[in-house]
Chain A
Amino acid sequence: GENVEQHPSTLSVQEGDSAVIKCTYSDSASNYFPWYKQELGKRPQLIIDIRSNVGEKKDQRIAVTLNKTAKHFSLHITETQPEDSAVYFCAATRVDSSYKLIFGSGTRLLVRP
């Protein structure tokens, strides 16, 4: 089955700097890769996703890149702000009849003011 590895487990950056979180997946048939943000005590919420037919997607300060050959994808946050502090999870799935996601172990991002 699918396995998703996520690095780093913790990341501390200065406000205004960029943050990059990386994930690798094992199932070459996976074709949908979402990123979820979870603030302390809250539920995970989707912030951006990418499908295997594109290599990059941007939404304001966040972007995701996908390298299908190497089976890895990354989340990029530019001009970080204190409210970006949270745990970020990557996930992967093969879009078939279930849409079930396999999650990475999470990255705790701290943005220092």
Chain B
Amino acid sequence: NAGVTQTPKFRVLKTGQSMTLLCAQDMNHEYMYWYRQDPGMGLRLIHYSVGEGTTAKGEVPDGYNVSRLKKQNFLLGLESAAPSQTSVYFCASSGHYYEQYFGPGTRLTVT
């Protein structure tokens, strides 16, 4: 039981490049979330999903897209990376009992 995993762990992009971050969970959770964490700003919700095939915007969705084609996976895409998207990205999942389980994070640097 791996819990929540994220791929990749680290990535460096040039401005304008695109990439996809993968989140996978093996707990059969309905809900999945993508956050970004910046110094002094806590965790901010980017997008979330309440079930397979659904997505919704969070607090800071601009510049990101998501897809949830399979229940266990939640993908976060950056179509044209900007330096302002340099951050640590965390994925999380939860069932019907509130607690969110976080993945180990992806450290992204955009130069």
Interface positions of A (Cβ within 8 A of B): 1, 6, 9, 32, 34, 42-46, 49, 89, 95, 97-106
Complex contacts, A45 vs chain B, CB 8 Å:
102
Interface positions of B (Cβ within 8 A of A): 31, 33, 35, 40-45, 48, 50, 56, 58-59, 90, 94, 98-100, 102-105
User: Judging by beta carbons under 8 Å apart, are A105 and B100 in contact?
Assistant: no
**By DSSP majority rule, is chain A's interface helix, strand, loop, or mixed?**
loop
**With the chains together, A54 CA to B13 CA distance in Å?**
47
**With the chains together, A9 CA to B41 CA distance in Å?**
10
B99 interface neighbour in A9, A34, A97, Cβ under 8 Å: A34
User: Judging by beta carbons under 8 Å apart, are A98 and B56 in contact?
Assistant: yes
* CB closest chain-A residue, reference B96: A99
User: Judging by beta carbons under 8 Å apart, are A100 and B58 in contact?
Assistant: yes
